[in-house]
Amino acid sequence: MDIRKVKKLIELLDESGIAEIEICEGEDSVRISRYPTGTPQPAMVAAPLPVPVAAPSAPAVAAAAPEAAPAAEAEEEGYAVTAPMVGTFYSATSPDTDPFVKVGDPVNEGDTLCIIEAMKMMNQIEAEISGTIKSIKVQNGEPVEYGQTLFIIDQRTAS
CATH at 144:
2.40.50.100
Domain assignment present for residue 60? The answer is: no
Total tally of structural domains belonging to the chain: 2
pLDDT at 38: 55
Exposure string of 16-40, with b = 16+ CB inside 10 Å and e = fewer, is ebbeeeeeeeeeeebbbbeeeeeee
pTM for this prediction: 0.52
On the question of pLDDT at 95 being above 70, the answer is yes
Residue 119 has a pLDDT of 87
Q: Which domain holds residue 24?
A: 3-45
Give the model's pLDDT for residue 37: 55
Residue 42 confidence class, pLDDT cut points 50, 70, 90: very low
- What is the reported pLDDT for 134? 94
Query: Residue range 35-47: average pLDDT?
Result: 51
Number of H helices, E strands in the chain: 2, 11
